[in-house]
Amino acid sequence: METEKNLVLSKSDSWKMFNSIAGRYDFLNRLLSLGQDIRWRNALKKFLADSDNQTILDLATGTADVLITLAKGNPKVHRGYGVDPAVKMLEIGREKIKRQRLDDRLMLQQGDAQALPFLDGTFDCVTISFGIRNIPDLRLALLEMYRVTKKGGRVLILEFSKPENPLLKAGHWLYLQTFVPLVGFMFSGNFKAYTYLNQTIQTFPYGDRFCKILKQMGFVNIEPHPLMGGAATIYVAQK
């Protein structure tokens, strides 16, 4: 696993970087993933438990795309809470929630995934998308996710991973090494941010290694669901 000192940007400061690129974040997500990020967040929806009126928590919620995707027109989600330390990302998220007329059901608040301001067993489902690899203490965040989930409730984690197929893996590496930092810099002016993105993807313990960590934290019924040949994975786990 990576150490903080090997990263171009410390994970404990990553939220400040997200504040500085907040205005361009959604646009760059669409551009750099060639629209796949929308499909991947939509795929999360399929893994919600089969019951209505759930209360969900989305960590590293950023500009609230996950909450909006999960809650819009979906009777399974009654109320959703989003937590992120980056206020500027949250401001954009709140505007989007208002525009979608979801502000009576979705609420955002500033906070850290490693120390959640919620009681034990509060949520039917806790989600985090493209966020877990930014958290300085991965295990602490997973323990917090476990703590605030109801017994029998679900955790859904969407994160970048690496394809298994050697050809896809090489293409994926090249894309992260060249296209992402170059286009990211061109449109955000922040080279560090998109080099950091590549570094954290390359070093994150994806697949079986991540499932093992989930098991160590107490989760059961753990399933990895690779997307697009393994470029991203949805991990489903139960408390």
Ligand X SMILES: C[S@@+](CC[C@H](N)C(=O)[O-])C[C@H]1O[C@@H](n2cnc3c(N)ncnc32)[C@H](O)[C@@H]1O
Out of 114, 188, 198, 200, the residue judged to bind ligand X by CB under 6 A: 114
**Structural element, H or E, at residue 234:** strand 232-238
By beta-carbon proximity to ligand X, the closer residue of 14 and 188 is 14
* Residue in 9, 66, 68, 97 binding ligand X, rule: CB under 6 A: 66
Q: Nearest distance from residue 211's CB to ligand X, in Å?
A: 21
Work out the angle between the directed axes of helices 14-32 and 180-188 (0-180°, nearest 10): 110
Counting residues that bind ligand X (by CB under 6 A) gives 22
DSSP strands (E only) in 77-219: 77-84, 106-110, 123-129, 149-160
Closer by beta carbon to ligand X, 158 or else 214:
158
Shorter beta-carbon distance to ligand X: residue 167 or 172: 172
Least separation, in Å, of the C-beta of 33 and ligand X? Answer: 10
In the region spanning residues 22 to 51, those forming contacts with ligand X, defined by CB under 6 A, are: 29
Within residues 120-149, the interface with ligand X by CB under 6 A covers 129-131, 134-135
Q: Which of 58, 55, 48, 109 is nearest to 79 (CA)?
A: 55
Residue 152 CB, nearest approach to ligand X (Å)? 25
Binding segment (CB under 6 A) for ligand X, from list 47-55, 83-91, 171-179, 206-214? 83-91
**Other C-beta atoms within 10 Å of 71: how many?**
24
CB atoms within 10 A of CB 78: 14
CA distance 172 to 40: 17
**Residue selected from 18, 81, 146, 204 as contacting ligand X according to rule CB under 6 A:** 18
CB-based contact 153:118 (threshold 8 Å): no
Total number of residues shown for the chain: 239
- Per CB under 6 A, the list member of 54, 112, 148, 190 interacting with ligand X is 112
Q: Would residue 64 be called left, alpha or beta, if left means φ above 0 and alpha means ψ between -120 and 50 degrees?
A: left
- By the 10 Å C-beta count (0-12 exposed, 13-18 middle, 19+ buried), 3 is classed as exposed
Please choose, out of 110-118, 159-167, 173-181, 200-208, the segment that lies near ligand X by the rule CB under 6 A. 110-118
Applying CB under 6 A, does 233 fall inside the site for ligand X? no
Q: Which residues contact ligand X (rule: CB under 6 A)?
A: 14-15, 18, 29, 59-62, 65-66, 84-86, 89, 112-114, 129-131, 134-135
